[in-house]
Amino acid sequence: FSPDGRRTVSGSSDKTIWLWDAETGQPLGEPLRSHSNAVYSVAFSLDGRRIASGSSDKTIRVWNAETGQPLGEPLRGHSGTIYSVGFSPDGRHIVSASSDNTIHLWDAETGQPVGEPLRDHSSIVCAVAFSPDGRRIVSGSSDKTVRLWNVETGQSLGEPLRGHSDAVHSVAFSPDGRRIVSGSEDKTIRLWDAETGQPLRRPLLGHSGAVWSVSFSPDGLCIVSGSKDTTIWLWNAGTGQPLGEPLRGHSDAVQSVSFSPDGLCIVSGSGDCTIRLWDAETRQPLGGPLRGHSSTVYSVSFSPDGRRIVSGSEDKTTRLWNEIGQVLQTSAQDNTDPVSSMAIPSNGGPVELNAPNIQTSHSRLISGSHFTPPGFFDCSLSKDGWISFSGGVLYWAPPDYRSGLQHPYSLTFPTTSSSRATWIDFTHFHCGTFWTKCRK
């Protein structure tokens, strides 16, 4: 996604790059054609003005994100397939990783290489990521190691991080940049101190197959992992302990996992051709699988506002799911009985809510009702489900319905967004003192 969430970019084995309107799902102009082979990786710059693409034609291209025109000549230097590209947080550099065992740094403005290639890996570089401050790079390789690099000098920082016994498929920095998580073919996850390179604890054990994808939650407290064993695990990032039972639902390898920006949801893509959504707190699926791809889903990610999902697949397509509601609508069909009551504490004492009707719907408004209570314009949803406003608490939302509420404007009845929202019928709302009798 572009940083403003309005566009998405996709790369394919058909040698093209497409820009899409994130609201409508329609392509923006003609595809970006220049690569002579499959496009494995694409990334927006932080300001959304440029796109970088990496291909098995061994080149990197930089594009004008508005016009779709290439900026300058291809960036040449790799001698193998380019599996990963990314912009630094400040947009000054591009990093690329390749099957030629090297990592290259490039000046994002001029397209010129910055220093010599980073050559310390002895096998394919599978994954690279910038630290949040942009001063370091972490890489994972088929040589079974994780390495840290100084962006300014291009030198490796200390010795390689050793511990995995097979290829390292995925690496990520924690949001504060102090820790690194890695997932490996050896079925384990490891946590490392990003400053010292030392392991923080024993390997995280639980998966029975290769770990393809790892990611920190936005607050850095949790880690999510997806594996060839078809399961997803949640881990306490502080203790390394699993958080409950694994998430089961996929029937093939989980290739990609990612948290929503608010940390409340997890999205997963799998070899079973489906995408699934999960409640990060309850670890329960949010509706049924999202179907549409005809082959393995290799990559999934939320848009910056958390209202849309983009997916990339072996079927050569990138799909944009306009809103989480397309899956939650299935959940609503599974739960045909509306929630009949909710207890609502308030600053002025207990109140009563008689028979509110919570439903999910795609772009649905409450007919004839545009009820917006005065002062309730900026509400927030806490992780335990309470909706607050003006320092007080308004109501509690059941887990199955929380993800449909529009953040931070949680009282969207109706919503003017084109995205699906949970809507609440306040026709029979009553304030009073007999709140204990509101359950029916």
Three-state DSSP state, 163: coil
**Confidence (pLDDT) at 426:** 52
Q: Which of 244 and 35 is assigned the larger pLDDT? A: 244
**Is pLDDT at 270 greater than 90 in this prediction?**
no
**Is pLDDT at 406 greater than 90 in this prediction?**
no
Q: Per-residue pLDDT averaged across 166-175, rounded?
A: 93
Cα R_g (the chain), whole angstroms = 23
Q: Cα–Cα distance between 132 and 68 in angstroms, integer?
A: 28
Query: Are the C-beta atoms of residues 206 and 187 closer than 8 Å to each other?
Result: no
291-311 pLDDT, tens digit each:
877 777 777 777 666 666 766
Q: How far is CA 12 from CA 35, 54, 314, 315, in A?
A: 10, 10, 9, 9
| 354: number of Cβ within 10 Å | 15
Three-state DSSP state, 360: strand
What are the residues whose beta carbons fall under 8 Å from the beta carbon of 361, sequence distance 6 or more? 325, 329, 332, 420, 421, 423
**Is pLDDT at 411 greater than 70 in this prediction?**
no
Q: Which of 203 and 87 is assigned the larger pLDDT? A: 203
Q: Per-residue pLDDT averaged across 425-431, rounded?
A: 53
Query: Are the C-beta atoms of residues 61 and 78 closer than 8 Å to each other?
Result: no
Q: Which residue's structure tokens are 């230097």?
A: 77
**Is pLDDT at 198 greater than 60 in this prediction?**
yes
Query: Are the C-beta atoms of residues 62 and 69 closer than 8 Å to each other?
Result: no
Q: Cα–Cα distance between 339 and 354 in angstroms, integer?
A: 11
Q: Which of 330 and 271 is assigned the larger pLDDT? A: 271
pTM, full prediction = 0.65
**Is pLDDT at 410 greater than 60 in this prediction?**
no
Closest to 146 measured CA to CA, from 136, 138, 154: 138
Q: Which residue's structure tokens are 């009073």?
A: 432
Q: How confident is the model at residue 275 (pLDDT cuts 50, 70, 90)?
A: confident
Query: Are the C-beta atoms of residues 66 and 51 closer than 8 Å to each other?
Result: no
94-127 per-residue burial string, b: 16 or more CB within 10 A, e: under 16 = bbbbbbbbbbbbbebeebeebeebbebbeebbbb
**Confidence (pLDDT) at 380:** 67
Q: How confident is the model at residue 323 (pLDDT cuts 50, 70, 90)?
A: very low
Q: Per-residue pLDDT averaged across 272-291, rounded?
A: 86
Query: Are the C-beta atoms of residues 81 and 96 closer than 8 Å to each other?
Result: no
Q: Which residue's structure tokens are 């390898």?
A: 253
Say what the alpha-carbon torsion angle 233, 236, 238, 239 is, to the nearest 10 degrees.
Answer: -90
7-21 pLDDT, tens digit each:
777 776 677 777 767
DSSP-derived pairing of the beta strands 392-396 and 386-389: antiparallel
Helical (H) or strand (E) element with 334: helix 325-334
**Confidence (pLDDT) at 150:** 92
Q: Cα–Cα distance between 222 and 380 in angstroms, integer?
A: 21
Q: How far is CA 416 from the centre of its chain?
A: 25
Q: Cα–Cα distance between 440 and 107 in angstroms, integer?
A: 64
Q: Per-residue pLDDT averaged across 257-281, rounded?
A: 87
